[in-house]
Amino acid sequence: MVQRMANDVRNADLLCLPVGRKYSLSTLVPLHKKYRSHFEIIGLVLEAVKADSATPFSIMKHVSINCMQLKKYLRSLTEMGFLEVEIKKSRIFYRATKEGLEFLKQYYLLLGMLLTARV
């Protein structure tokens, strides 16, 4: 398992994937915590909307949080400028901004450094 973790972290493509490629936090070795931090949830929200716009329900399913928690995170991320809101045919969609994608990239770099420090 330690070897697998080291191989995953050494793979720079895994940590700095372009927007078009699919990846998830589950491909990285978890930090074995019972609860997720705010940064982990923010990373999952941004990952859900990075390639294309998404509805609140699809984000909620991707991140595995309830509706009240999702509203809090969507409001905060929109205020910080990490998400933008689109309304199409009376439906609300969220999309990651440049700042949100940059945060996600930096988050994965930091996560990679933390995982290599644990080896």
Q: pLDDT for 15-55, tens place per residue?
A: 344 444 444 454 554 555 678 899 999 999 999 999 999 99
- For residue 56, give the CATH number of its domain: 1.10.10.10
Query: Alpha-carbon distance 107 to 101, whole Å?
Result: 10
Query: Alpha-carbon distance 83 to 9, whole Å?
Result: 28
Number of domains, the chain? 1
Angle separating helix axes 67-80 and 56-63, nearest 10 degrees: 110
Q: pLDDT for 56-77, tens place per residue?
A: 999 999 999 999 999 999 999 9
Query: Alpha-carbon distance 22 to 17, whole Å?
Result: 8
Q: pLDDT for 82-118, tens place per residue?
A: 999 999 999 999 999 999 999 999 999 998 898 888 6
Please tell me which residue, 69 or 7, carries the higher pLDDT value: 69
Query: Alpha-carbon distance 93 to 58, whole Å?
Result: 10
